[in-house]
């Protein structure tokens, strides 16, 4: 059996008297799309924040590629190869597509200009950005120096996913990527997710949208009352089952553990 | 909505109706648009275009013989306007850095005078070598910027409040230091003439270019380079645009902000040195409205008060527009109040255009 | 009035007695309290004023409380200060009003409460709002430098005059000095309370300086743009004059123009000595304040109020012309003599 790329055991996170994570486990296998579903307040965002370094857990352990990790900031997680695409997308609207893709990891010119005058290599960044966007089928970029705020919601999501996928990341976490999108744009984003997966990058998908989850996910992690209730295979369960597990209306009889 | 009760299968056809629809959502097509939209897009891409147009138009209008009787459009007068705006121009460059991060700095003018006073008190009154008094002046200026930056990033206070506070603090210190008494031009000449170096000039025809004017242009050029050609510059814009997004995207926002405030302080120090050359003496009472004048130049120059938008070159044009208006209206024989009146409208116009440009979308 | 005083004194003595039985005699001596409210406490002019008031108050055994606005024109702080003084039962208030009209109601209230109110330096409008005004005769100050400049030139028909005024508000000190100068120089001033209404072709123009070097320089540059032949420069004060001189120097024309000014601050007098300023009219802030304290002491003792100088609606604390190039018929002192008396 292959090793999980991320393996978390016994995660506990308390906010005052509220226990957001209660002995939660989590496993992400290489190359899969793992959906995380759960009712509001089930603790799925705490789970994701714990993995992406946005919150520090009180108890438990997280391993990446078999090595224990302890992220103090999202930047730590990112440096370790865990990219998160936030629901807010974390794009700077007035900056261009290229600038946004390279923000925080800009490429400097070779030689004196880059070394002593810190000059950016805009051509190289534009070339890489165009290449990455083309790779993901985000096609026909007419003006890569266009400001992000002039793009549609789906296009922005695309840029954000492309940014996450572009820099040799090991894991991409997508937080509600289709929540703010129309039907057509959601479709495009789902295709993009599958495109990224086909490159071998595993994806954690947090979503409320059952059809979307069932369409793209390989496995579904059902979170309930601060811990993992079960992991189900979308081929073997219906959406109504999933919703029933999530809300506690039904207890899963067959629990698949990793 | 789709029906979630039926048993779903992978690749089910609940969205099959969309198959024939346009899937080209992530493509960056450009639809043809009307004139107004076109203009909006043009300005969005080139926020400096508005101030440049206003500048050119005002120069042309004031050049008309019936307006200023030919007194305005002389090389000498134009170079004089440059001299007159040079100090506010340099301060506006410092102000731009702060405003680009969605902050505001009310303390720039006071800090400049504080720095100039320190240079003068040491170099002139105490006989310290000029070089050392200059360093001390810069230490004060950068230290003042650092102080603002620390309160903004560590204590998380709004820049408006922090710099309102430090404005009063700097003013009171410099008044206590000087007893509100100017350091005379003649004393500076005798003790530390190098403090006035930026008042020297070179003549090109009838135009007079002071070193202070050249310095202003150099300051803008250097800042333009750092803001447009380095990662630091991108980060400054990203922070001003959306600090939270910048943080999530991996920028160390507080550290960058601190460098911005210190850089602004250094530019204020440059303004302090240049101001001694420009005014001749060091007056604790001069430049009382320099903070507002610098903000005016920045706003007229098309930098958004909400941060993250606009070119650093805009405030240079903004400062020049104010100078041109003042000179032109005066030479046209109008009361001084009409200058104030005109500047007021320019500010409102500039911010209105900024708001309009922000609404651009594909 | 007398009974009020006695009551106050008794009250104070009783209060003091409660605090400390041993200080009875002292309490009686300090029972007269006075207030000094200046426009700002940063201008050396007001600093000097405060020094004069404090020294005299100390000498006469009067308790002095000093207040100041934050900037020139800060009326709110001055109103609050007057309120504090009324509440504290001050016997007299010395004030340099930032805005005579705006302060009128509270000053009236202070007088009704039994305080003697003396305007220092700047009169109220009308001046009768206060019990008295102790001030420099600013018009006279202007006349002196105007006459001096005219006498110095001899033939004034070729004069080209630059007028460097204070600010766009045209406050009284501004128009009094401005028009005094013009009248002394021999120009028809039309309305003596208006700046810039003259139609004498010898006047190149007016511009504002905010009374500092930077403003003085810029204003002078601007007027030189209108006529580069300017040969007489009137300035509202000495910092503005220093700025005007810098502008002339940068044009290489510092020898072409006579600069005259008003104030008598030490750097200004030094500039007279070094030939930057041709002549300046010196005023005496220290005297204004010390005489003001004396007036309060007299009022507290027997209720006498100060009288105005003959022919004026205020008490003239004097003005002297300072120049090292005296002219016939205009009394003046030299810069060396003036350095002994200057303020700031």
The predicted model gives C181-208 an average pLDDT of 92
Instruction: Give me the pLDDT at residue A255, please.
Output: 53
DSSP B180: T
pLDDT over 70 (residue C26): no
Residue C1 placed within a domain: no
For residue B230, pLDDT beyond 70: yes
- Residues in chain A within 8 Å Cβ distance of B11: 215
- Give the number of beta-carbon pairs within 8 Å between B and C: 95
Give residue B352's region: left, alpha or beta (phi > 0; psi -120 to 50): alpha
Q: SS3 sequence, chain A?
A: CCCCCEEEEEEEEEECCEEEEEEEEEEECCCCEEEEEECCCCCHHHHHHHHHCCCCCCEEEEEECCEEECCCCHHHHHHCCEEEECCCCCCCCCCEHHHHHHCCCCCECCHHHHHHHCCECHHHHHHHHHHHHHHCCCCCCCCCCCEHHHCCHHHHHHHHHHHHHHCCCCEEEEECCCCCCCHHHHHHHHHHHHHHHHCCCCEEEECCCHHHHHHHCCEEEEEECCEEEEEECCCCCCHHHHHHHHHCCCCCCCCECC
* C219 shares its domain with C144: yes
Element (H, E) at B292: helix B290-300
Q: pLDDT (tens digit, 9 = 90+) per residue, C59-111? A: 999 999 999 887 777 888 899 999 999 988 899 999 999 887 888 889 999 99
Question: Residue C275's domain spans which residues?
Answer: 138-282+320-339
Tell me whether residues B182 and C214 touch, CB distance under 8 A.
no
Strand partners, A7: A27, A63
Measured distance CA(B166)–CA(B47) in Å, rounded: 31
pLDDT at residue C93, as a whole number: 95
**B contact chains, 3+ CB pairs < 8 A:** A, C
8 Å CB contact of A143 and B28: yes
- The CA-CA-CA angle for residues B17, B22, B26, to 5°, reads 125
Domain total of chain C:
2
**C209 found inside a domain:** yes
Give domain limits for chain B: 48-356
Q: Across all residues in chain C, what is the average pLDDT?
A: 86
Q: Can you tell me which residue has the tokens 């100068």?
A: C181
What pLDDT, in 10s, does the model give residues B24-38?
A: 444 444 455 577 777
pLDDT of A29-42, one tens digit each? 999 999 999 888 88
* C106 plus C123 within the same structural domain: yes
Please give the share of chain A, as a percent, with pLDDT higher than 70: 95
Query: C315 in a domain, yes or no?
Result: no
Work out the average pLDDT over C171-175.
86
Does C195 share its domain with C250?
yes
Compute the C-alpha angle C333/C337/C343, nearest 5°. Answer: 100
Sign of CA dihedral C154, C155, C158, C164: positive
At residue A141 the predicted structure's pLDDT band, cuts being 50, 70 and 90, is: low
Instruction: List the subunits that have 3+ CB pairs under 8 angstroms with A.
Output: B
In the DSSP assignment, the letter for residue B181 is: P
Which residue in the set A74, A95, A142 is minimally distant from B237, CB to CB? A95
The predicted-structure confidence for B291-313, as pLDDT tens digits, reads as follows: 999 999 999 999 999 999 899 99
pLDDT: which is higher, C10 or B340:
B340
Evaluate if residue C229 carries a pLDDT over 60: yes
The pLDDT value recorded for residue B67 is: 82
Of the partner residues B241, B244, B252, the one whose CB lies closest to the CB of residue A95: B241
- Pair (C189, C247) in one structural domain: yes
Cβ pair B84:C221 closer than 8 A? yes
What is the pLDDT at residue C24? 37
Decide: residue B345, CB within 10 A, 0-12 exposed, 13-18 middle, 19+ buried. Answer: exposed
Name the residue with tokens 């903070």: B291
**In a shared domain, residues C162 and C246:** yes
| B23, pLDDT greater than 60 | no
Q: Are residues C332 and C192 in the same domain?
A: yes
HEC secondary structure over chain C:
CHHHHHHHHHHHHHHHHHHCHHHHHHHHHCCCEEEEEECCCCCHHHHHHHHHHHHHHHHHCCEEEEEECCCCCCHHHHHHHHHHHHHCCCCEEEECCCCHHHHHHHHHHHHHCCCEEEEECCCCCCHHHCCEEEECCHHHHHHHHHHHHHHHHCCHHHCCEEEEECCCCCCHHHHHHHHHHHHHHCCCCCCCCCCCCCCCCCEEEEEECCCCHHHHHHHHHHHHHHCCCCCEEEECCHHHHHHHHHHHHHCCCCCCCEEEEEECEHHHHHHHHCCCCCEEEEECHHHHHHHHHHHHHHHHHHCCCCCCCCCCCCEECCEEEEECCCCCCCCEECHHHHHHHCEC
Q: Are residues C169 and C266 in the same domain?
A: yes
To the nearest whole Å, the CA of B39 is away from the closest chain A CA by 14
- Which residues of chain A from 189 to 248 reach within 8 Å of chain B, CB to CB? 192, 210-211, 214-215, 234-235, 238-240, 243
Query: Average pLDDT of chain A?
Result: 86
Inside any domain, residue C289:
yes
Mean pLDDT of C137-149: 94
The packing angle between helices B253-279 and B75-100, to 10°, is 160
The pLDDT, as a whole number, for residue B21 is 46
Which residues of chain B are within 8 Å of residue A118 when distances are taken between CB atoms?
226, 229-232
Q: pLDDT of A19-31, one tens digit each?
A: 889 999 999 999 9
pLDDT at C186: 94
Whether residues C128 and C213 share a domain: the answer is no
* CA C139 – CA C184 distance, rounded (Å): 9
Alpha-carbon distance of B299 to B320, in angstroms, equals 13
Task: Evaluate if residue B143 carries a pLDDT over 90.
Answer: yes
Contacts 24+ apart (CB under 8 A), B153-161: B153/B254, B153/B255, B153/B257, B153/B258, B154/B254, B159/B98, B159/B103, B159/B104, B159/B105, B160/B103, B160/B104, B160/B106
Chain A 22-41, CB below 8 Å of chain B: which residues? none
Place of tokens 């408006």: B160
Q: Is residue C311 part of a domain?
A: no
The per-residue pLDDT for range A226-252, each reduced to its tens digit, is 888 889 898 888 888 888 888 888 887
Residue C147 shares a structural domain with residue C278: yes
Q: Is B173 on the interface with C (CB under 8 A)?
A: no
Residue B58 gets which letter from DSSP? H
Query: Where do the domains of chain A lie, and which CATH numbers do they carry?
Result: 6-247 (3.40.50.300)
Residues C143 and C262 reside in one and the same domain: yes
Compute the distance between CA of residue C269 and CA of residue C341 in angstroms, rounded to an integer.
10
- ipTM higher than 0.90? no
- Rounded to the nearest integer, the mean pLDDT of chain B is 87
3-state DSSP helix/strand/coil % of chain B, to nearest 5: 70, 5, 25
Going by C-alpha positions, the residue among A254, A148, A196 that lies closest to residue A31 is A196
Q: What is the pLDDT of residues B264-286, one digit of tens each?
A: 999 999 999 999 999 988 988 88
* Cβ–Cβ contact C166 with B under 8 A: no
Q: Strands C116-120, A6-15: parallel, antiparallel or unpaired by DSSP?
A: unpaired
pLDDT of the residue at B4: 44
In a domain, C269, yes or no: yes
pTM score, whole prediction: 0.81
Taking domain B48-356, whether its CATH number is 1.10.3470 is answered by yes
Angle at C208 between CA C202 and CA C209, to 5 degrees: 120
Q: Kindly state the average pLDDT of the residues C181-198.
A: 92
Flag whether residue B125 sits within 8 Å of chain C, measured between CB atoms. Answer: no
How far A62 CA sits from the closest chain B CA (Å)? 21
> What angle in degrees, to the nearest 10, is found between the helix axes of B108-120 and B130-153?
150
3-state class of B54 per DSSP?
helix
Q: Does B207 touch chain C (CB under 8 A)?
A: no
Q: What is the DSSP letter of B8?
A: P
Strands C319-323 and C315-316 turn out to be unpaired
Angle at C99 between CA C94 and CA C104, to 5 degrees: 70
Q: Are strands C132-135 and A219-224 parallel, antiparallel or unpaired?
A: unpaired
Query: Are B235 and A215 inside 8 Å of each other by CB?
Result: no
pLDDT at B33: 58
**Closest alpha carbon to A95 in B239, B28, B40:** B239
Quick check: bond before C168 cis, omega within 30?
no
Q: What is the C-alpha to C-alpha distance for residues C97 and C38, in angstroms, rounded to an integer?
A: 7
Closest-CA residue of chain B to A141: B28
Residue C203 makes CB contacts below 8 A (sequence gap 6+) with C161, C163, C182, C187
Beta bridge partners of residue C120, listed in sequence order: C134
Nearest to A154 among B9, B26, B231 (CB): B26
Instruction: Mark yes or no for CB contact B248/A74 under 8 Å.
Output: yes
Q: How far apart are CA C224 and CA C229, in angstroms?
A: 7
Q: Which of C125, C124, C121 is nearest to C136 (CA)?
A: C121
How crowded is the C-beta side of B323, counted as CA atoms within 13 Å? 24
Of A134-148, A154-168, C135-149, the poorest mean pLDDT is in A134-148
Mark whether C129 and C159 lie in a shared domain. Answer: no
Q: Do the chains A and C touch each other, judged by at least 3 C-beta pairs below 8 angstroms?
A: no
Q: Looking at residue C230, which CATH number applies to its domain?
A: 3.40.50.2300
Enumerate neighbours of C (3 or more CB pairs within 8 A): B
Which string of DSSP letters, residue by residue, matches B117-152? HHHHIIIIIS---HHHHHHHHHHHHHHHHHHHHHHH
Sequential DSSP letters for B216-258: HHHHHHHHHHHHHHSHHHHHHHHHHH-HHHHHHTT--HHHHHH
The helix/strand/coil state of B207 is strand
């Amino acid at each position: 059996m292959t090793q999980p790329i991320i393996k978390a055991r016994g995660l506990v996170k308390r906010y005052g008297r509220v226990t957001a994570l209660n002995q939660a486990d989590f496993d992400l296998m290489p190359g899969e799309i793992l959906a995380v579903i759960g009712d509001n307040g089930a603790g799925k965002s705490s789970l994701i924040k714990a993995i992406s370094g946005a919150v520090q857990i009180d108890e438990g352990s997280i391993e990446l590629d078999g090595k224990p990790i302890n992220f103090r900031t999202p930047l730590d997680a990112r440096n370790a190869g865990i990219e998160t695409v936030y629901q807010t997308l974390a794009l700077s609207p007035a900056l261009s597509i290229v600038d946004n893709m390279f923000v925080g990891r800009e490429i400097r010119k070779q030689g004196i200009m880059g070394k002593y005058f810190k000059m950016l290599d805009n051509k190289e960044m534009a070339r890489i950005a165009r290449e990455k966007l083309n790779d993901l089928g985000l096609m026909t970029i007419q003006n890569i120096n266009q400001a992000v705020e002039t793009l549609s919601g789906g296009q922005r999501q695309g840029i954000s996913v492309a940014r996450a996928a572009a820099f040799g990341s090991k894991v991409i976490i997508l937080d509600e990527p289709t929540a703010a999108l129309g039907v057509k744009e959601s479709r495009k984003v789902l295709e993009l997710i599958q495109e990224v997966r086909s490159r071998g990058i595993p994806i954690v998908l947090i979503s409320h949208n059952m059809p979307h989850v069932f369409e793209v996910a390989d496995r579904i992690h059902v979170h309930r009352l601060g811990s993992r209730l079960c992991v189900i295979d979308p081929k073997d369960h219906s959406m109504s089952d999933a919703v029933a597990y999530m809300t506690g209306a039904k207890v899963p009889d067959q629990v698949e553990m990793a | 909505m789709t029906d979630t009760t039926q048993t779903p299968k992978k690749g089910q056809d609940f969205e099959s109706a969309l198959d024939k629809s346009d899937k080209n959502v992530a493509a960056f097509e450009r639809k043809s648009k009307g004139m107004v939209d076109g203009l909006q897009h043009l300005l969005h891409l080139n926020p400096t275009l508005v101030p440049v147009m206003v500048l050119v138009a005002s120069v042309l209008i004031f050049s008309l013989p019936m307006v200023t009787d030919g007194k305005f459009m002389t090389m000498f007068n134009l170079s004089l306007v440059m001299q007159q705006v040079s100090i506010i121009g340099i301060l506006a460059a410092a102000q731009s850095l702060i405003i680009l991060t969605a902050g505001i700095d009310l303390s720039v003018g006071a800090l400049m005078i504080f720095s100039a006073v320190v240079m003068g008190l040491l170099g002139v009154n105490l006989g310290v070598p000029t070089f050392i008094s200059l360093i001390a002046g810069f230490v004060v200026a950068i230290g003042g910027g650092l102080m603002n930056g620390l309160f903004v990033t560590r204590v998380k206070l709004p820049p408006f409040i922090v710099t309102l506070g430090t404005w009063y603090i700097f003013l009171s210190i410099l008044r206590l230091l000087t007893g509100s008494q100017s350091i005379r031009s003649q004393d500076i000449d005798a003790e530390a003439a190098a403090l006035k170096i930026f008042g020297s000039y070179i003549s090109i025809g009838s135009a007079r270019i002071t070193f202070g004017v050249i310095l202003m242009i150099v300051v803008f050029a250097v800042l333009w380079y750092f803001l447009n050609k380095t990662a630091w510059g991108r980060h400054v814009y990203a922070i001003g645009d959306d600090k939270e997004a910048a943080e999530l995207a991996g920028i160390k926002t507080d550290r960058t902000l601190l460098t911005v405030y210190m850089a602004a302080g250094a530019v204020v120090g440059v303004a302090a040195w240049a101001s001694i050359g420009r005014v001749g003496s060091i007056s604790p009472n001069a430049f009382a409205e320099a903070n507002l004048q610098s903000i005016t130049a920045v706003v007229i120059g098309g930098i958004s008060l909400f941060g993250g938008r606009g070119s650093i070159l805009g405030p240079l044009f903004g400062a020049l527009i104010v100078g041109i208006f003042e000179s032109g209206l005066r030479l046209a024989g109008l009361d001084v109040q009409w200058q104030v009146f005109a500047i007021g409208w320019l500010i409102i116009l500039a911010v209105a255009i900024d708001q309009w440009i922000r609404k651009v979308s594909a | 009035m007398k009974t009020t005083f006695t009551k106050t004194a008794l009250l104070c003595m009783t209060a003091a007695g409660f605090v400390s039985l041993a200080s009875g005699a002292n309490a009686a001596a300090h029972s007269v309290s006075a207030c000094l409210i200046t426009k700002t406490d940063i201008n050396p002019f007001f600093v000097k004023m405060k020094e004069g008031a404090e020294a005299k108050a100390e000498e006469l055994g009067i308790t002095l409380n000093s207040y100041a606005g934050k900037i020139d024109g800060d009326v709110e702080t001055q109103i609050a200060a007057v309120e504090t003084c009324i509440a504290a039962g001050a016997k007299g208030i010395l004030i340099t009003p930032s805005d005579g009209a705006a302060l009128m109601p509270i000053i009236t209230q202070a007088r009704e409460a039994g305080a003697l109110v003396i305007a220092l330096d700047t009169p109220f409008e009308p001046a009768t709002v206060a019990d008295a005004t102790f001030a420099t005769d600013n018009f006279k100050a202007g006349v002196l430098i105007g006459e001096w400049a005219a006498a110095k030139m001899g033939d004034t028909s070729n004069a080209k005059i630059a007028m460097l005024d204070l600010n766009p508000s045209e406050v009284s000190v501004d128009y009094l000095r401005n028009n005094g100068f013009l009248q002394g120089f021999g120009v028809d001033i039309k309305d003596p309370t208006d700046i810039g209404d003259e139609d004498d072709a010898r006047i190149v123009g007016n511009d504002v300086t905010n009374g500092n070097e930077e403003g003085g320089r810029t204003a002078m540059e601007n007027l030189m743009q209108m006529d580069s032949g300017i040969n007489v420069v009137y300035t509202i004060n000495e910092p503005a004059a220093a700025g005007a001189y810098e502008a002339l120097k940068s044009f290489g024309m510092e020898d072409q123009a006579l600069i005259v000014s008003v104030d008598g601050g030490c750097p200004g007098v030094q500039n007279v000595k070094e030939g930057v300023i041709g002549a300046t009219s010196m005023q005496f802030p220290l005297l204004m304040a010390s005489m003001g304290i004396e007036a309060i002491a007299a009022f507290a003792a027997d209720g006498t109020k100060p009288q105005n100088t003959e022919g004026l609606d205020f008490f003239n604390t004097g003005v002297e012309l300072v120049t090292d190039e005296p002219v016939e018929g205009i009394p003046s002192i030299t810069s060396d003599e003036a350095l002994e008396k200057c303020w700031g």
